[in-house]
Structure 1
Amino acid sequence: MIQKYRKAFNENFTEERYNHFLKKLGEGFPEIPFRVAETPIFIPDALKKKLIAAGEEIISLIKQDNFKELTQKAIPKEWNVPNEIAHPHFLTFDYGLCKDESGELTPMLIEMQGFPSLYGFQTHLAKTYKKEFDLDEKLSPYFNGLDETSYFELFKRVIIGEHRPQEVALMDIDAPNQKTAIDFFVTAKHLGIKILALEEISKEGNQLFYEENGQKIKLKRIYNRLIFDEIGENTDIFKNSFDPREELDIEWITHPNWFYRISKYTMPFLKSEFVPETRFLNTIENIPTDLENYVLKPLFSFAGMGVIIDVTEADIIAIKDPENWILQRKVTYEPVIKAPDAGVKAEIRMMYLWPEGEEPQLCINLGRLSRGKMIGVRYNADFDWVGGSVGLMEK
């Protein structure tokens, strides 16, 4: 998209160089189980400004006094966790790259979350792209004047706060073996915190502990990467550890309720040139006659699971819980990334950190390239020039 960088990158690209890049990317870390794209995204200044403006509009809704009231029904009763905090520590907004009516490149909101993303890995990915492909030093994945040092200072302040690193743990069900484990290890390397599987945490009274070298250490904060949607009814996993829904002497980074509040549930409340028409299915009196222009999404799903791309009237009629679904006007992705053989579609995730008592700060981004009907890396496994990426901008 910044043509001078795209042209130079493609002219100098070789499979050997890409394979060497992948080798360096994984060096010292567990194997990366998802596909990493051959190229970064070179974000032009005009698109960067639109991405920032889109995010500011969304954040203004989230900061409204009645936002919690608007989104209270987003939290399933069986997953409502006590002691919710005033705001999330993370905001991530996913935009498809499209063209507007005048042919200008524009972002369109696809998904949003009040839950952490690859905040550690994206720094490592950008740095490795730049080094292994000899990219211009003035290209950066960061916003608001941040660099690698100041970014991790902010990240550390959000995750660790006033505590000692050993009193904070990144937690998931089977953390070291998750698909995103490399993000966990990059984060732990920079912040000095523990990576703990759920069963490595024990409960005494309302306090949580883990053991290290035979010593019992009290946890004060959990950097939560556990997604309740993925647990479903399998609550037996809590038997040998602790149940997050109990009253606990623990600080959540971020509190689990925000995963639900800031999600697809929020989108029908947004009215913006950067947000496609989105409605709760149970509020639709007349099914649109042009369903080919819509996509049907469950509110409570993760990584695109359950999404119906080619919607029919029968699909809608078959939905037993329409209050838990949205009907969203399709977004037409523009194949803006020039691969050697064809154009490739792209999505950019804008990633914010929100320190307690401060304002949310746009920090870094994540890119995904696709040739398939859906953007996620799992839907593009058989293609090249697709997968996880990062946007680089001129400082």
Structure 2
Amino acid sequence: IVAKTRTPEFARHAAGAIPSGLEVPNETAHPNFLVVDFGICTEGGNLRPRLIELQAFPSLFGFQLLLLGCMRKAYPAIPRNWTSSFGGMQDDDYLKLLRRTILADSRAENVVLLEIEPAKQKTRVERGRQLFYQRAGREVRIERIYNRVIFDELLRRPDLHPPFSFQEELDVVWVGHPNWYFRISKHSLPFLKAAHTARAFFANEFPAAESPGDFVLKPLYSFAGLGVDMEPTREKLEALTNPHEWILQQKVHYAEFVPTPEGPKSKAEIRMMFVWPDNEPEPILVNNLVRMSQGKMMGVDFNKDKTWVGSSIALHQRGS
């Protein structure tokens, strides 16, 4: 699936992925981060992965390492040769790779995390296209931006007034360039056809012979399950203002297979997490994240008052 996003055919498909007015200058040659979500489904009595979504956006790369450390401390019986990482990567190697991707040749103080109100961080433009922030009474130049801003969330916050525009020509390097958030996203799903994908169509291209009830209707540019319609109809499709900004993805049947102490088994998705430093020829699979659910969908909003749900991590024997 990741290999298919690196073809000329995919580049042509992704060329129209960015909404008007949101394209950011100085796009990098490739994304620095890529995550691919598979639902664990039941097919013919067996467990099978099915592609649910993918995104060129930084996920919880640091937190998953911290989580594994906490699990080892709480459950010392976990064998040391069981790991969440891939390719024989040790913890120190993992951290070095993240540093190389995020910091590169810059000092840590010249790299900032950009997120919506992480700590009401103050950043301002000065001296042409350069960005600075205040630290201990002095101005520190920003050379690289580790970007975790989701445009959909930003656009729904008119109360926020960023001190610079993403569309400006800034003298910074984006670590996780914002354009890739759109290019590799739900917009990619109709293009991707492989053994573990589900059929997907843009709403304006949905075949007349198909039944909408067999599909899930998703907005292209939202996150955390916002706007998803599990029961679409022809009438709903005809009522869409911008049908090219919606997709229909064939429904899959999540397996209820994770035993819990309280009885009901949980469903799960597994996120495969890739890092792609600037000077590497290919993305590197480094870690995973598991999301569990007992609701109709994944996510906090669909699992309120439920237990044995939420984020976790999958372990496998090193070298297997």
Report TM bin, short chain: over 0.9
Q: 2:60 aligns with which of 118, 124, 142?
A: 118
Partner residue in 2 for 1:250: 172
Instruction: State how far apart, in whole Å, the 1-side matches of 2:306 and 2:167 are.
Output: 42
Instruction: State how far apart, in whole Å, the 2-side matches of 1:173 and 1:232 are.
Output: 11
> How far does residue 236 in structure 1 lie from its aligned partner after superposition?
6.6
TM-score, with structure 2 as normaliser: 0.94
Partner residue in 2 for 1:8: none
Q: Is the 8 A contact 2:32 2:277 kept in 1?
A: yes
> How far does residue 88 in structure 1 lie from its aligned partner after superposition?
0.1
Give the 3 Å change call, closer, same or farther, for CA 312–298 of structure 1 in structure 2. Answer: same
Partner residue in 2 for 1:269: 191
Percent same amino acid at aligned positions?
42
Partner residue in 2 for 1:210: 133
The amino acid that maps onto 2:71 is: Y
Unaligned runs of 5+ in 1: 1-57, 177-196
Q: 2:33 aligns with which of 90, 95, 111?
A: 90
Partner residue in 2 for 1:64: 7
Q: 1:327 aligns with which of 242, 248, 257?
A: 248
The amino acid that maps onto 1:165 is: A
> How far does residue 233 in structure 1 lie from its aligned partner after superposition?
6.2
Q: Secondary structure at the match of 2:37?
A: strand
Compute the RMSD of aligned alpha carbons: 1.5
Partner residue in 1 for 2:83: 140
Instruction: State how far apart, in whole Å, the 2-side matches of 1:379 and 1:124 are.
Output: 26
Matched, 1:293 2:214: yes
The amino acid that maps onto 1:169 is: V
Give the 3 Å change call, closer, same or farther, for CA 287–298 of structure 1 in structure 2. Answer: farther
Instruction: State how far apart, in whole Å, the 2-side matches of 1:131 and 1:107 are.
Output: 30
Q: How does 1:27-42 map to 2 (within 5 A)?
A: none
Partner residue in 2 for 1:374: 297
> How far does residue 383 in structure 1 lie from its aligned partner after superposition?
0.5
Q: Is the 8 A contact 1:287 1:313 kept in 2?
A: no
Q: Is the 8 A contact 2:10 2:191 kept in 1?
A: no
Partner residue in 2 for 1:354: 276
Instruction: State how far apart, in whole Å, the 2-side matches of 1:385 and 1:287 are.
Output: 40
Q: Which has the higher helix share?
A: 1
Q: Is the 8 A contact 1:95 1:107 kept in 2?
A: yes
Deviation readout 1:192-239 (Å, 9 max, x if unpaired)? xxxxx4x51110121000111111110100000111111226567345
The amino acid that maps onto 1:209 is: F
The amino acid that maps onto 1:256 is: P
Q: Secondary structure at the match of 2:286?
A: strand
Instruction: State how far apart, in whole Å, the 1-side matches of 2:156 and 2:101 are.
Output: 31
Q: Secondary structure at the match of 1:73?
A: coil
Matched, 1:317 2:238: yes
Partner residue in 2 for 1:383: 306
> How far does residue 364 in structure 1 lie from its aligned partner after superposition?
0.4
Matched, 1:338 2:280: no
> How far does residue 262 in structure 1 lie from its aligned partner after superposition?
0.5
Q: Secondary structure at the match of 1:75?
A: coil
Partner residue in 2 for 1:171: 114
Q: Secondary structure at the match of 1:343?
A: coil
The amino acid that maps onto 1:261 is: R
Partner residue in 2 for 1:106: 48
Partner residue in 2 for 1:228: 151
Instruction: State how far apart, in whole Å, the 1-side matches of 2:145 and 2:314 are.
Output: 29
Q: Secondary structure at the match of 2:113?
A: strand
Q: How does 1:43-54 map to 2 (within 5 A)?
A: none
Q: 2:98 aligns with which of 144, 155, 162?
A: 155
Deviation readout 1:44-100 (Å, 9 max, x if unpaired)? xxxxxxxxxxxxxx1211111343321121101211000101100000011100133
